[in-house]
Chain A
């Protein structure tokens, strides 16, 4: 009897404690609500003070990544780091979309291979993000380091040459990369696109970038940022299914190739400004790079694909640019392609890297011997 009373007393005590806690948690308390509002405002003020280009350049590239494949956040941070931490080595910079990322197994490994084959240390920089437009690449080109020697490979893929203001204007209006780039602002002006005028405050100027990453802004400082994942193992372990080809890849390729005739001219002009920007700012050699392309695309759309290649070749000739299409040199066969333009896995990428090194070594040697070691 006494035990049961004590038990009853205990549970009533627990109930009181629980109810006191719940009361504090749920019942709005004016000061708490006011303080929360003030804290939220202060939070934004602190963020706007904290996030500066200098701070970004000094932070790890994954700091603001929403998930491990947030290549836009990664490329943003990487670009700022390039400008700030200019490495004295020979530099190779590959700018492109996912096809560029999936053609390379390891930028660090590639840099080491190049260093071994050359008489000077070299570093390979992969500056790629899904569906990167030439506008984005132009913005990144503002961040290429000055005063070093090297090669800049720029993707002239089908995807790059078929962007248009009608279909992709948002990429120019509201860029995916958070870069302060004079070249990019010029593109907006040339296209008559009303981008927000830069206020000088990094956070507010790139609020689209940050607001899309609310989870990263709030939780990455507490639980750590996701690790940058260069290759997706799931993609690497499976070919695109016939159904996926039918529903996804063929319509995209067909649509893009259909648009090439009308869209290429404006993109070629952006590419021209890219080349001029790199030549005038960094002095590095520019190479036009054609991403890998599945032989079926060539076979299925011979005329349109031929037209695309002519456009690229003419531009390369006009600008005196080397044009690299390495599929044959790499000995790629159908099994090396996961889909239209992405290579399948480490072995396919190793073949591709070998062909790339074979092209890069003579170019870098020429640069070294014509100007002396940097």
Chain B
């Protein structure tokens, strides 16, 4: 029983690892693209 719970928790951890990596990769790609492109997409934004 204990082992099954522990195994389950390992997989909960792995699922979060997957979500974090996946979202992080998408986010990082976009941030890197934006930084490399240097487009002034928000020049004077707010006014």
Binding site for B on A (CB under 8 A): 13, 16-17, 20-26, 28-29, 32-33, 35-37, 39-40, 43-44, 66, 69-72, 98, 130-131, 170-171, 174, 176, 207-215, 217-218, 232, 342
Starting from the known contacts A130-B47, A174-B37, 7 additional A-B residue pairs (CB-CB under 8 Å) come to A17-B6, A24-B13, A37-B21, A131-B47, A176-B43, A207-B37, A214-B27
In the complex, the answer to whether A130 meets B13 with C-beta atoms within 8 Å is no
Q: What total of chain B residues lie within 8 Å of the partner, measured CB to CB?
A: 36
What is the bound-complex CA distance between A246 and B45, given in angstroms? 21
What is the bound-complex CA distance between A111 and B43, given in angstroms? 30
In the complex, the answer to whether B40 meets A29 with C-beta atoms within 8 Å is no
Least Cβ–Cβ distance between B22 and chain A, in angstroms: 4
Q: Which residues of B sit under 8 angstroms from A211, Cβ to Cβ?
A: 29-31, 33-34, 37
In the complex, the answer to whether A24 meets B34 with C-beta atoms within 8 Å is no
What is the bound-complex CA distance between A214 and B37, given in angstroms? 14
Q: Which of A22, A176, A217 contacts B30 (CB 8 A)?
A: A217
- A23 in contact with B39 given A37-B25, A40-B25, A342-B47 (CB within 8 Å): no
What is the bound-complex CA distance between A33 and B41, given in angstroms? 32
- A212 in contact with B47 given A25-B13, A25-B16, A217-B30 (CB within 8 Å): no
- Interface of chain B, main secondary structure: helix
In the complex, the answer to whether A174 meets B40 with C-beta atoms within 8 Å is yes
In the complex, the answer to whether A21 meets B9 with C-beta atoms within 8 Å is yes
Chain B residue nearest in CB terms to A207? B33
Least Cβ–Cβ distance between B37 and chain A, in angstroms: 5
Q: Which residues of B sit under 8 angstroms from A131, Cβ to Cβ?
A: 43-44, 47
Cross-chain pairs A/B with CB under 8 angstroms, 6 sampled: A21-B12, A36-B25, A43-B22, A130-B47, A211-B33, A214-B26
What is the bound-complex CA distance between A275 and B44, given in angstroms? 26
Q: Which of A22, A26, A43, A208 contacts B34 (CB 8 A)?
A: A208
Chain B residue nearest in CB terms to A232? B46
Q: Which residues of A sit under 8 angstroms from B43, Cβ to Cβ?
A: 130-131, 170-171, 176
What is the bound-complex CA distance between A29 and B34, given in angstroms? 30
In the complex, the answer to whether A32 meets B17 with C-beta atoms within 8 Å is yes
In the complex, the answer to whether A16 meets B6 with C-beta atoms within 8 Å is yes
**Residues 3-39 (chain B) with a chain A CB within 8 angstroms:** 5-7, 9-18, 21-23, 25-27, 29-31, 33-34, 37-39
In the complex, the answer to whether A40 meets B34 with C-beta atoms within 8 Å is no
Q: Which residues of B sit under 8 angstroms from A98, Cβ to Cβ?
A: 44, 47
Q: Which 7 A-B pairs have the closest CB atoms?
A: A24-B13, A25-B13, A174-B39, A36-B21, A24-B10, A214-B30, A131-B44
In the complex, the answer to whether A40 meets B41 with C-beta atoms within 8 Å is no
Q: Which residues of B sit under 8 angstroms from A16, Cβ to Cβ?
A: 2, 6
Q: Which of A21, A43, A130 contacts B45 (CB 8 A)?
A: A130
